[in-house]
Amino acid sequence: MSTALAAGSGFDFTLAQQLTVIALCALTAFIAHLALAVFNDGVRPFLLDFIQGRTTRSATTAVSFGLSAGFIFGLGAPMALSTGVLNPWLLFLPTDVLGMLAPKKWLAPLLGGVWGAVVVFGLNGANDIAHDLPVDFLTAMQQMSTPILFLFTLFPVLAITKQFGRGWGAAAGAIEVALVVLTMKLWPNMFAGALAMAVGVLMLIGLAVSQDLRQRRADRSAGKVDEVAADDPMASLFSASAARLRRYLPLFMVLGGGVCVLAQMHVFGGGEATSFLIAKGQYAEAAQVDFYRVFGFVPLIATTALASGAYGIAGFTLVYPIGYLLPNPVLAAVVGALVFAVEVLALSWIGRALGKLPSVRDSSEHLRSAIGDTLQLAILFGSLMAANAMGGGLGILVVGGLYLFNDVAGRPVVRMAAAPAAVIVGGILLNLLYWLDLFTPVKG
């Protein structure tokens, strides 16, 4: 399968795309201001104290910025610049912060809209400047696509191994590798990991459901029954949070429609691997990848939403793959709104169902962990490939050194974002060395 990105990887947005990004950033900032939803899963649990008045807006903003800054500048911006495709870390993490920062309701959408304008009007200029440099680190960063796409394929294997042991993991790994080889041989224009990931995720779900069913049969045989305490404080909290979110159902429907429209326009990718697939024009494969990610995040998003009273900006992220596949923005707006309505109305039921399926719930944890592990290795390896492309051994020394320094310095930039950030900083340093006549670029 070719891993070359579309020529230029530029940001030639149409007027409709520009207005959609600006309006969606304004809306997400407003929703974050109301503490109804944020994109950062790590911030959501802190919102309950803010909603109930036990902490201040400024303190919550500081938490949001601290947990988001590394992803914005270390992952969101580099991924967008290297692929020519927008991503949620670049759009929605800043609007989380800006929405919480705004002291007034009217100011939140204004700040969000300004950020959207900065993105759609500023990225192309930054992209052009970077490509005109003697050391073109953005083109070099396209080297990241191959390791990200192929190593990401293995996340179901890691999840199966963690939950069900080495035997099942080895079997899943052998099956996935065989399917990748088969796909490359028979369907060379198809993303080679698509079929392998599908089988891997289905194996994981099948093993988890089978384990839960066996456990329930064993419990019934032993005379055990499901018991829920009538005065369970968590049940009461979950009920109040679900009711709070349902009160704002029309606003969530507008949000769902907006995110789905953005995905339908094919200028946005919901994940690292997805961004590269969208850039290649492989929308069906991108939809497949983001659909599998849903299984890893539904339990997390549902439980944190029910515990905190704040939902996810992208919901369960189902609107991403749906949007990629829909034929026009009008249909995407309608379908996205309906998907969000179903998600919000079903939250309480999903919470109860997850309580009865502990192995499935555990699978979600293992999937998220496996996705992080595979992407962390892929992004690091891809960043070193980019470093080699732009500076050879010196590039690897600079980029690898920055990554290691960040690690031993207490990780001021989160590990997953540290490597792409190091490529950009390393690229700037190599350009400085070139202008000092101390370095000759590998290419150009």
Each residue's pLDDT tens digit, 134-146? 998 888 998 998 8
What integer pLDDT is reported at residue 132 of this predicted model?
Answer: 86
Q: Is the pLDDT of residue 444 over 90?
A: no
What integer pLDDT is reported at residue 2 of this predicted model?
Answer: 44
What integer pLDDT is reported at residue 235 of this predicted model?
Answer: 56
- pTM of structure: 0.88
Asked whether the beta carbons of 426 and 400 are under 8 A apart, the reply is no
- Return the higher-pLDDT residue of 249 and 82: 249
Euclidean distance between CA atoms 319 and 128, whole angstroms? 31
The torsion angle over the Cα atoms of residues 287, 117, 7 and 390, rounded to 10 degrees, is: -100
Enumerate residues 6+ apart whose C-beta is below 8 A from 345: 246, 249
Spell out a b/e string for 85-109, using b for 16 or more CB atoms within 10 Å of the CB, else e.
Answer: bbbbbbbbbbbbbbbbbbeeeebbb
pLDDT tens string 254-267: 999 999 999 999 99
Q: What's the mean pLDDT when you consider all of the chain?
A: 89
pLDDT tens string 176-203: 999 999 999 998 888 888 889 989 999 9
What integer pLDDT is reported at residue 245 of this predicted model?
Answer: 93
Enumerate residues 6+ apart whose C-beta is below 8 A from 326: 260, 264, 332, 335
Euclidean distance between CA atoms 4 and 139, whole angstroms? 11
56-73 average pLDDT score: 91
What integer pLDDT is reported at residue 443 of this predicted model?
Answer: 60
What integer pLDDT is reported at residue 237 of this predicted model?
Answer: 55
pLDDT tens string 213-232: 888 888 777 766 555 444 44
